[in-house]
Structure 1
Amino acid sequence: MAYQAVEKNVALGALESELEERRSRLAALETQVAQLQEVRAQQIRQVEAQRTQNVAQRLAYEALRVHLGLQEAALRRLEEEARDLLERLVQRKARAAAERNLRNERRERAKQARVSQELRKAAKRTVSISESPDTPGIGTKEKAEMTLTVPAEPQFLENEAGEKWKRPFRSASATSLTLSHCVDMMKGLLDFKKRRGHSIGGVPEQRYQSIPVCVAARLPTWAQDVLDAHLSEVNAVRFGPNSSLLATGGADCLIHLWNVVGGRLEANQTLEGASGSITSVDFDPSGSQVLAATYSRAAHLWKVGEAQSKETLTGHTDKVTAAKFKLTRHQAVTGSRDRTVKEWDLGRAYCSRTINVFSYCNDVVCGDHVIISGHSDQKIRFWDSRAPRCTQVIPVQGRVTSLSLSHDHLHLLSCSRDNTLKVIDVRVSNIRQVFSADGFKCSSDWTKAVFSPDRSYALAGSGDGALYIWNVDTGKLESSLRGPHCAAVNAVAWCYSGSHVVSVDQARKAVLWR
């Protein structure tokens, strides 16, 4: 029994130690349970707060949706009112033009009637003519004043004019014939204008202005004027044919026209109506219209002097990256990121041809019968405007960002993302020269490079804010201009007279160089 008591004591001790261990574990678990309960309570409070916030946000969302519906309804009403106002304005302008033409025609008819009446009076007027003393067959006593009444019939006038050499004095019929002939010529000219479809008082068709011929372009050396041209990034710049008018387009959906006066850029006009960022601007050959490509999947056409867009060319399904006039003011070409190039008849505002390409189009230029497009797949494609096919493909290194065609249409300048410019001989379709320089960087897919008007130089802006100019004949870097630009230069333009250069950058600046 003593032995059993010892064994029982040993077993009891083991059980007591196990009990203590379990008690300690139980205390630890109880502490953990308390911590977990506290965490659970915190999470419950967070869930309740989140639910309250969700309810508030749902209510705010509903209020915003209701407000959006009201705003959309107000926008539709405003758009309808704008369309009605535009229609009334167009009708009023048409009525005013018709009334003005009618007044001018009445005035011209009255003027013609007055001239005809004066001619009839002049034809019936009696002219006193004195015989010359040297007239043979007439004596001194027979000298007397003779009165001659000039008939008004054309046949008699022609006979008198044909026989005037037989008379010793100049007949008044010759003068009458000259006046009649002049009047007939004027009437013929007026009738010719009418046959061409112009009323006498109508606005004459704008004729193309003569483009200055640049014999030798002047290298820019210093900045004449620096200004903030737009409210945000400036993407495009273009000179008009007369070299004194400049257009800039920016991400603020506006096009500003500037006059180059005395080495300064003076604001001329702001063209509105675009609903997206401007990516490209171009003047027609007469300088009377401006065409712009936008990120709103459309191109817009303005008439210089009118603030609102004249036509909107829609049909692309993605951003329009380039819009250029052809050699006539009535035709244009656009390129887009929807992998198409479109030809437009501006007279009827419709797409006359769609060219499907395999890559994004970043820029286009037009020659006599050729359309040249640069693409993101590192290729330049040539299209015959008279046939629906690609005539030539030239591969280059890097995505093509811009194209510039020389004035003689014999050389093409391309800029690409491999930080090089390439001169392509259009006649043989091969790369003639490659330009690069230390520090030059093509910073975006819309960086524009141009030829000088005489094709002696190639100009491009860099990502470091500098302008680089290469000599086309030697292939060497002619100069680099630094200073005003503190951001990447997006586009450059060289005026047709060769005297000025304008550059625009991503920091809203436009710089006039001379």
Structure 2
Amino acid sequence: MKKYLPLLMAPLGILEGAVMYSRGIPDHRLLEKSDLLTHFTEKLPPEPPSELVHLPSGEEEKARPVPDSAQSPEDLRRKWEEEVDKVKLVCGEMAYQVVEKNMTLSSQDAMLEEQLGRLSALDARVRDLEETRQWLAEQVAGQQDRIMEGKEAYDTLWAHTGHQEGALRQLEEEGRELVERLIQVKMQAAEDQNYRNERIERVKQARLSKELKKAMRRTVNISETLDPPSIVEPPAHKQELLEVETCEKRWKRPFRSASATSMTLARCMDVMKGLLDFRKRRGHSVSGTPEARYTSIPVCGVSCLPARAQDIQEAHCSEVNAVCFSSNSSLLATGGADRLIRLWNVVGGRLEADQMLEGAGGSVTSLEFEPSGCYLLAATYNKAAQLWKVGESQSKETLSGHTDKVTAAKFKLTRQQAVTGSRDRTVKEWDLNKVSCSRTIDGVSYCNDVVCGDHLIISGHNDQKIRFWDSRVPRCIQVIPVEGRVTSLSISSDQLHLLSCSRDDALKVIDLRANNIRQVFRADGFKCGSDWTKAVFSPDKNFALAGSADGGLYIWNLDSGKLETSLYGPHSVSINAVAWCCAGTHVVSVDQGKKAVLWS
């Protein structure tokens, strides 16, 4: 067995050489191992081994027994050389496999090192992310604490707000009650003042009646017709003698002379004529004081039809709802949803900004100048009407008493009186001297516009009806139904015709003498754009003017009943209101796009 030990160790040496080669050992070491293997092979004894030898090959081979018969050394040598060649071949293959495995192992080691590098980088990234997570967790915890604190503060503020809202509602109710009480007090004061005035007038009337009765019973001599200063008063003792003589003459002459009677009747007729004139001035009310009326405004003979836009101005910061001219046709007022009223001068076919009026608490819905041109009245959405004096920037008076938006405010023909209409379904008459409501009319429906005649108040309503009220009668005297919600009313300068605009896209002319609809104007393309679209008569009452929802200006001829012309250009949105100056030379239109356009 010891003899064959070097032979068995040779493959191991070859394997070791392969391993050393795979590990980077030089090639001459492998050659030395091969020479050593050859040397040991040459020194092998001729006798074959009697034991089984296990050879390392790709598959385990079974050990073959050594034959017992004697063989020659050459045969044994040849066999062993063949065996050695086979062993060398197997060892070479195994060495090649070992090299491949080592190369694979080296690549796996490189991949492992790369993976370990990536793993270390990922570990560092994980540590960074963990630190970030901890920091974010701390931030979240802090935010949650702040959120909880904010929620507690919000709950506290909510509770406080609830208490404040309750207190506000209570204060509003108290304010409404105070306003109602103030209105009642003002109304009571007005009634008391009216009662005192009536009482004074009754006393004066009673005194006058008493004087008339005394005059009727009194005997008047011809001498009484002479002027009192021409009569020389006699001395006191002569005065007594004259009185005695007069008494004696009365007893002697029981009947009046014809001349005396005629003089007495003439004086009574003069007094009665004065009373009748007084009643006529008072509007058939003997107990009142004479009403001061505005002087009539001169009206132009012929109105000029507008043909082109001369000036375009961005009048307000939001849509413009109202526009009107003063009686002198040179001053223009516009009001809009920005709670401002602007005055403009019409100079040389252009609009020049003159003044800005402040103090309106809400959107301005209606404007009208006093016939004298000294005051301007505006209806606003803050449940009140404002009165300005032209030339002053601050409001002079506030007419408060409505409980909803005021949609119209107009002056009456008698001085210091006005009328307002509101969405609280009422129409109110106002005494501007006392700044108090003198009468409240239940309008049944939302009131969108009002106009005033001699003793007539006309209101247009949301229930598609036009109602007529007399200032001397407590109830409605006439109702005219139309086919749409009434948006505006305009009365002619001669107080004989009324122009209405309604949401059925039609204008109607009403004859106030017969209280019936005389004409209906429609046109292709004309559409009423809102519940406050305004239409007006021309100053000479020959034309009707209105703005459409498509930005067009439509003019109808009252004589022919047909559309006279339609103008387009500056307006690209719905026109809210129009105004025709008293001189008949200019027209102004305002729209929902902040514009005011001067036409001529």
Asked if these proteins are the same fold (TM beyond 0.5), I'd say yes
Match of 1:272 in 2: 358
Structure 1 or 2: more helix by fraction: 2
DSSP-derived class of the 1:409 partner:
coil
The CA distance in 2 between the partners of 1:434 and 1:54, in whole Å, is: 68
The CA distance in 2 between the partners of 1:250 and 1:425, in whole Å, is: 32
Shift of 1:486: 1.2
The one-letter amino acid of 2:587's match is: V
Summarize deviations over 1:406-455 as a string: whole Å, max 9, x none.
00000000000000000000000000000011111101100000000001
The one-letter amino acid of 2:585's match is: S
- 1:419-458 matches, within 5 Å, as 419-458=505-544
1:397–1:416 CA contact under 8 A, matched in 2: yes
Match of 1:294 in 2: 380
Sequence identity percentage: 71
- Equivalent residue in structure 2 for 1:374, among 460, 471, 483: 460
The CA distance in 1 between the partners of 2:530 and 2:159, in whole Å, is: 38
DSSP-derived class of the 1:220 partner:
coil
The CA distance in 2 between the partners of 1:379 and 1:278, in whole Å, is: 24
- 1:165-184 matches, within 5 Å, as none
The CA distance in 2 between the partners of 1:409 and 1:225, in whole Å, is: 32
Summarize deviations over 1:215-260 as a string: whole Å, max 9, x none.
0100000000001001111000000000000110100111101110
Match of 2:475 in 1: 389
- Equivalent residue in structure 2 for 1:226, among 299, 307, 312: 312
Shift of 1:213: 2.3
Over 3 Å counting, the alpha-carbon distance change for 1:483 and 1:355 in structure 2 is same
- 1:470-485 matches, within 5 Å, as 470-485=556-571
1:499 and 2:585 are equivalent in the alignment: yes
Shift of 1:211: 3.4
DSSP-derived class of the 2:324 partner:
strand
2:294–2:414 CA contact under 8 A, matched in 1: no
The CA distance in 2 between the partners of 1:311 and 1:278, in whole Å, is: 16
Q: RMSD of the alignment, in Å?
A: 2.8
- 1:41-440 matches, within 5 Å, as 56=150, 59=153, 211-440=297-526
Over 3 Å counting, the alpha-carbon distance change for 1:312 and 1:479 in structure 2 is same
Shift of 1:386: 1.1
The one-letter amino acid of 2:333's match is: A
Structure 1 or 2: more strand by fraction: 1
Over 3 Å counting, the alpha-carbon distance change for 1:386 and 1:481 in structure 2 is same
The CA distance in 2 between the partners of 1:483 and 1:64, in whole Å, is: 53
Q: Which runs of 4+ in 1 moved over 2 A?
A: 48-69, 207-213
DSSP-derived class of the 1:59 partner:
helix
The CA distance in 2 between the partners of 1:238 and 1:433, in whole Å, is: 25
Summarize deviations over 1:123-148 as a string: whole Å, max 9, x none.
xxxxxxxxxxxxxxxxxxxxxxxxxx
2:375–2:387 CA contact under 8 A, matched in 1: yes
The one-letter amino acid of 1:317's match is: T
Summarize deviations over 1:63-113 as a string: whole Å, max 9, x none.
6998998xx99xxxxxxxxxxxxxxxxxxxxxxxxxxxxxxxxxxxxxxxx
The CA distance in 2 between the partners of 1:53 and 1:216, in whole Å, is: 75
Over 3 Å counting, the alpha-carbon distance change for 1:428 and 1:269 in structure 2 is same
Over 3 Å counting, the alpha-carbon distance change for 1:65 and 1:344 in structure 2 is farther
Structure 1 residue runs without a partner (length 5+): 1-45, 74-206
Q: TM-score, normalised by structure 1?
A: 0.62
2:294–2:413 CA contact under 8 A, matched in 1: no
DSSP-derived class of the 1:422 partner:
strand
The CA distance in 2 between the partners of 1:65 and 1:209, in whole Å, is: 62
Summarize deviations over 1:133-192 as a string: whole Å, max 9, x none.
xxxxxxxxxxxxxxxxxxxxxxxxxxxxxxxxxxxxxxxxxxxxxxxxxxxxxxxxxxxx
The one-letter amino acid of 1:59's match is: A
The CA distance in 2 between the partners of 1:67 and 1:227, in whole Å, is: 45
1:487–1:506 CA contact under 8 A, matched in 2: yes
Over 3 Å counting, the alpha-carbon distance change for 1:216 and 1:59 in structure 2 is same
The CA distance in 2 between the partners of 1:61 and 1:221, in whole Å, is: 65
1:289–1:302 CA contact under 8 A, matched in 2: yes
2:486–2:502 CA contact under 8 A, matched in 1: yes
DSSP-derived class of the 2:343 partner:
strand
